[in-house]
Amino acid sequence: MRRLGVILVLLLVAVLANIINAWSCALLVAVHEDDPDSPAIAVQSVGNPPEAYFYEMRRAGAFRRVEWEAMEWGALSGGGEVDDPPVVEDARGLPMLSLSCRIHTMSDTADCYAVEVEGGIGIANIHDPATIAPGPGMLPQNPDFYSALVLPCRPMWPGFVINTLIYAAVLWLLLRGLPAVRRAVRAFNGRCTNCGYDLRGTPGTACPECGWGRAAWRSASRA
């Protein structure tokens, strides 16, 4: 019963660590198509004609997919106006991507802006659509959607579970490992492995301080 409780607490702490990690990636790892560290790779969906086109950008801890409807992409490549601005899928986490959200955008003649976050929390550069008016002479000069800072909140499968298990395993090893290291150091120095009392020159089989058995210390002192 106690073991089950420890496992549950470990998993809970691991879930929190997972969220903190993904949000740290969201705040610290910038992803932009102009950044040589995260080159935009053009991808298209299956189907003939394809239903959608994407730009995918990947860095350690971050992934962004900018998705256009096929019709708009056709207009774009043909030099026409894009009516429907892209939807941006934003995913974060290490070592696997574990949380994601969608950023809806809106464009004017100057650029394309983040206006709404679906399944996440907008932190910075999320614009009020009312301030972005399409048409010449009305350029808000706001940062484009790439600079939107968002905290994704939707768990991704299987990344969220895998990250949580990895963090729980590391925590467990740390918790198990630290007392074991302390006991080994005490035995090496001829001290009681339980309380650290100096047993050199002390007769008997038990620690006079705490009553702990000396078998471990004896074998260590003979070596």
Residue 198 CB, shortest distance to Zn ion, in Å, is: 10
Q: Which is nearer to Zn ion, 164 or 193 (CB)?
A: 193
Applying CB under 5 A, the span of 90-98, 133-141, 157-165, 189-197 interacting with Zn ion comes to 189-197
Q: Which is nearer to Zn ion, 55 or 212 (CB)?
A: 212
Residue 159 CB, shortest distance to Zn ion, in Å, is: 46
The total number of residues shown for the chain amounts to 223
- Give the number of residues in contact with Zn ion, rule: CB under 5 A: 8
**49: preceding bond cis by omega (within 30 degrees):** yes
Among 6, 27, 60, 210, binds Zn ion (CB under 5 A): 210
Applying CB under 5 A, the span of 99-107, 166-174, 190-198, 215-223 interacting with Zn ion comes to 190-198
Distance in angstroms (rounded) separating the CA atoms of residues 1 and 20: 29
Q: Which is nearer to Zn ion, 101 or 199 (CB)?
A: 199
Q: Which is nearer to Zn ion, 170 or 210 (CB)?
A: 210
Q: What values do phi and psi take at 142, rounded to 5?
A: -90, 160
Helix (H), strand (E) at residue 116: strand 112-118
Among 125, 140, 197, 218, binds Zn ion (CB under 5 A): 197
Distance in angstroms (rounded) separating the CA atoms of residues 207 and 146: 65
170 near Zn ion, rule: CB under 5 A: no
Helix axes 215-222, 159-188, angle to 10 degrees: 70
Distance in angstroms (rounded) separating the CA atoms of residues 145 and 105: 7
Applying CB under 5 A, the span of 24-32, 94-102, 127-135, 210-218 interacting with Zn ion comes to 210-218
Residue 126: C-alpha distances to residues 39, 74, 114, 122, 134 (Å): 23, 27, 5, 6, 17
Applying CB under 5 A, the residues found at the interface with Zn ion are 192, 194-195, 197, 207, 209-210, 212
